[in-house]
Amino acid sequence: MIKIIVDSTCDLSEAFIEKYQIDIVPLQVIINDKNYKDKFEVDINQLYEHIRQKDDIKTSLPSYDDIFPIFEKYAKANQPFIFFSFSKALSGTFNFANLLIKDLKDTYNTQMSVVDFKNGGLASAVMMEEIVAFMETNNNIDDVVKFSEHLVNRMHHAVMLEDLSQLRKGGRISAVKSIISSALSIKPILELVDGHIASYKNAIGSKRALNDLMHYVTSKAPDKETKIGVLYSANEDLLNQMLTRLDKHGYKNIVVGRIASVMTAHIGLDAVSVCFLSN
């Protein structure tokens, strides 16, 4: 059986992780210049408090000591494995993992591969569930990688932001644009496109922005049986408003989750997003 390794941006349930014996590689969350292992040494609620206190928060790829020993253990044991990574357009994790595997292949003949999820959070978890189901009937590592990359190209993910201050602090948006957007009550909707964060639409006011986010779903997932992942940070009101809209449009196959801590560090506490696989 192929060993599955994911990084900490993939928001799998504890039950799923235990059932399939999945290894987790933590990214780093840096708070006031102190490094913490994502999800291992700082959880999402602690991160919320640091954001509220306006602490200096950054993120970084996994440390060598947190990723290489895992890879080396399975390489030595001739245990084939695939590492599923956070978007390489947003993090150096994918490239770092590839370099480590390249070095290990000089010593070991173990089958090892890295897949760029071009995503994170619940979107990655939804894809992982499909991958595990595929692996129950196909244990060929090349086929699993190919199937995974096919899923990646079918995943849609968009997020609506109430507040741009955390995005500005992370250098993703200029201070001037942040101030103007705040003054005009402009709520941006961002989309993950090929792993990159791109602007999908800007709306004046939360109600219009949530309606636009709903239109994003209906235009790209007309099948009402589509599984829709709804993610939120600390604002449950935004979550409930989005769930109400989905219900009114006939979408019943809903999975709710929190926006991954690494992403929350950049987009802040007032965000809601949707993700789903197209047919």
Indicate whether 186 pLDDT > 90. no
Tell me where in the chain the CATH 3.40.50.10170 domain(s) lie.
Answer: 3-153
Going by C-alpha positions, the residue among 278, 277, 276, 260 that lies closest to residue 87 is: 260
The topology (CATH level 3) of 3-153 is Rossmann fold (3.40.50)
Going by C-alpha positions, the residue among 175, 154, 155, 153 that lies closest to residue 164 is: 175
Q: Which CATH class is domain 155-277?
A: alpha beta
Q: Average of pLDDT values for 29-37?
A: 94
Q: Average of pLDDT values for 266-278?
A: 87
The answer to whether 37 touches 59, Cβ cutoff 8 Å, is no
Q: Residues in the chain, how many?
A: 279
Per residue in 12-21, pLDDT (tens digit) is 999 999 999 9
What pLDDT, on the 0 to 100 scale, is given for residue 163? 63
**Lowest-confidence region among 12-26, 116-130, 240-254, 255-269:** 255-269
Per residue in 81-91, pLDDT (tens digit) is 999 999 999 89
Tell me where in the chain the CATH 3.30.1180.10 domain(s) lie.
Answer: 155-277
Indicate whether 67 pLDDT > 60. yes
Going by C-alpha positions, the residue among 230, 234, 228, 244 that lies closest to residue 267 is: 234
Indicate whether 167 pLDDT > 60. no
Indicate whether 162 pLDDT > 80. no
Round the average pLDDT of the chain to a whole number and report it.
90
Q: Average of pLDDT values for 249-257?
A: 95
Sign, Cα dihedral of 214, 276, 153, 234? positive
What pLDDT, on the 0 to 100 scale, is given for residue 218? 97
Global pTM reads 0.90
Q: Average of pLDDT values for 218-243?
A: 95
Indicate whether 179 pLDDT > 80. no
